[in-house]
Structure 1
């Protein structure tokens, strides 16, 4: 096993450098987006390029070769990647969040994950915990299934929730860190958009998980990581807030890509049934462009406030209170909605050819419509959660995703 001290001596790139690297991959991701969708997985050369650029170790501890970046960096990197491919940006966000969770396990687990490979990737799923769990000497034996595990096709490890039995007959919910080669993947991700995320179902069948690869869920959920997080990780947050940042970055990047495409094509496209020379001469096109641009700009501002809020609390060494956490969840949902509405407007402005299968706009439209309806964003729950907090009640009575 490699020496973690030697690895940590490598200079860590700053935010500007990491974002520049992400921006440099835009053309590659854009070129491979069609294959990504057709194969329902991010192409290996894209994953390799993101890995070689260090963009999948943003949340990996520095002592083990990672960057230990802040949330603003994660957001800006995911946004830059999303301008090339929403699916690639989405899995980058999830895998970085998964690495964050893996960094909270006992040091022996961190050494096991990254000691020989600082680019090791950990998928993460926050679905219902597996109930078929037995205590065993030195750990537990787990059987269960977890759906919607984005990035599982490109991960070396998977973190999922399990319900560990206790003498009090109240299960102890914990994260279990499992090697990807010890679980199986069921091909269940057949969706209209975000096809390349490979968000399939992971299955464990009587898998032994040692104690050093178990960690309580509630403290991580609440950001109560004192004495757990490595000193070089400059953040603390409720898990769900961190998890959303990479996802909304992918949506913003996709919306920006759609905006750029429509603007670039406007001067060469006619306005059917009119005497306008091209779309840019039409007041309706101009109004649609202004509306979409304003919504994307607003989404970016909201997303930056979420990320900066997390970073500000981290620098102050304080846990984020429930009201702010609930606000962050609602605002994450608002970012998704604004991106979705902006892209809807852009496709209308471009015209019906936007829905031609050869046109990248229809792929962006489907990706953002699916991604913005992630369980963390949809069905009116974020509004209920924040409203409950604003009247002094516990939002966790409605949803644990706070």
Structure 2
């Protein structure tokens, strides 16, 4: 793939640019979901708007946008179309791995690629391993400083729209250390299969990536395991962006519910002239707004904590960021599922018509919130509260 060099917004402009982009995105979201129309054009426009280059450090020519602004960008795009908002998630997460572990030469090379409009996608999760934390994909050394990459990945979100794949793989040795190989999406031996058939998040391009004897030069391999050998905000950074997606879904579902209430008939026992005059419906709407607004506030708090820890990663700052993000992730996940379900009760029987495709909010919420279990986040929150037990260091907290 080739791209023209894209605009790089200043930090103060990033949220406004995202809001304008999202406004146009929302109009076709229902149709894209219903007919599974892959958003190649929309992702291209997102690149052209500079929305894939926001965290490139200033010393490499980027805007180095802070976490609160980046989170709001994700939330706004998810409010318009959560499938499209999920596509840049792994792009930014693996740029963070590059920032933390890449050499100066690697950073210069790949950050410049991003500034030129190139996009990354993940190839990390596998279906055949005992847990999601275990990889069988391998980087085998060959010759003088090169590797061969073999394996198969699933849930490779954004891979259909990517120029580069960030492939998590195991290095030889008893310690089973992991690394990230940056591989061109069209490299010999790479096969990207469009086989994602989830009930929600239908146009994320999250299919299978097969890797068969892919040649990888040593300067395209970045250590991954060492990220977690010291205090780090890497996991919280990844998770707070996921929380932003859920918060966007929650707000979108509630906004749509309000629009449909305006056209709904009142329940005859209420004595009201319009649905919005039914006191029981008003109560339910108020409860939904409290849930969504609380989740949005917790998301902002977490984004600030991650920003602090990212700037100064100490034991205390990173633990605080992980806990704050876990709280926000649980709250936004609940808000997304609850609001997208309440939508139907608020909007009435007509909302179940398939032609309206209002089920997409619940389907997107239910699918995305399965990404990692909230029950374990609640455990870490409780342990921190009771004993100040620091959360574990991994990419999901």
TM range (shorter): 0.7 to 0.9
Partner of 2:244: 249
Partner of 1:44: 40
Shift of 1:108: 3.1
Contact in 2 for aligned 1:194/1:367 (Cα 8 Å): yes
Q: Which one of 120, 127, 131 corresponds to residue 122 of structure 1?
A: 120
CA distance in 2, matches of 1:391, 1:210: 46
CA distance in 2, matches of 1:290, 1:23: 26
Q: Does 1:311 align with 2:307?
A: yes
CA distance in 2, matches of 1:26, 1:38: 19
CA distance in 2, matches of 1:58, 1:269: 42
Contact in 2 for aligned 1:163/1:171 (Cα 8 Å): yes
Partner of 1:144: 151
CA distance in 2, matches of 1:299, 1:251: 9
Cα distance, 1:114–1:394 mapped onto 2, change above 3 Å: closer
Q: Does 1:84 align with 2:84?
A: no
Gaps (5+ residues) in structure 1?
Answer: 1-6, 225-236
Q: Which one of 195, 208, 212 corresponds to residue 215 of structure 2?
A: 208
Q: Which one of 161, 165, 168 corresponds to residue 158 of structure 1?
A: 165
CA distance in 1, matches of 2:260, 2:390: 49
Provide the aligned length of Structure 1 versus Structure 2: 377
Contact in 1 for aligned 2:250/2:335 (Cα 8 Å): no
Partner of 1:177: 182
Cα distance, 1:400–1:14 mapped onto 2, change above 3 Å: closer
Q: Which one of 223, 238, 247 corresponds to residue 233 of structure 2?
A: 238
Shift of 1:28: 2.1
Partner of 1:384: 379
Shift of 1:296: 0.7
Partner of 1:290: 286
* Cα-to-partner distance string for 1:208-251 (whole Å, 9 max, x where unaligned): 22222222223324665xxxxxxxxxxxx422211122222222
Q: Does 1:133 align with 2:139?
A: yes
User: Which of 132-141 and 278-287 deviates more?
Assistant: 132-141
CA distance in 2, matches of 1:372, 1:307: 19
Partner of 1:233: none
Partner of 2:15: 19
Contact in 2 for aligned 1:159/1:177 (Cα 8 Å): yes
* Cα-to-partner distance string for 1:98-130 (whole Å, 9 max, x where unaligned): 333344422333344343561211113553433
Cα distance, 1:173–1:82 mapped onto 2, change above 3 Å: same
TM-score by length of 2: 0.85
* Cα-to-partner distance string for 1:325-359 (whole Å, 9 max, x where unaligned): 24523431222112211221222111232232222
CA distance in 2, matches of 1:364, 1:220: 35
User: Which of 24-33 and 282-291 deviates more?
Assistant: 24-33
CA distance in 1, matches of 2:106, 2:162: 16
Cα distance, 1:400–1:110 mapped onto 2, change above 3 Å: closer
Shift of 1:367: 0.7
Partner of 2:129: none
CA distance in 2, matches of 1:11, 1:200: 29
Partner of 2:71: 75
Q: Find the residue that maps to 2:211 and give its secondary structure.
A: strand
CA distance in 1, matches of 2:111, 2:37: 24
CA distance in 2, matches of 1:48, 1:131: 30
Q: Find the residue that maps to 2:358 and give its secondary structure.
A: helix
Contact in 2 for aligned 1:87/1:197 (Cα 8 Å): yes
Partner of 2:130: none
Cα distance, 1:381–1:65 mapped onto 2, change above 3 Å: same
RMSD: 2.7
CA distance in 1, matches of 2:337, 2:177: 38
Contact in 1 for aligned 2:52/2:114 (Cα 8 Å): no
Q: Find the residue that maps to 1:170 and give its secondary structure.
A: coil
Gaps (5+ residues) in structure 2?
Answer: 126-133
Contact in 2 for aligned 1:295/1:339 (Cα 8 Å): no
* Cα-to-partner distance string for 1:156-186 (whole Å, 9 max, x where unaligned): 11112211012xx222211222111122112
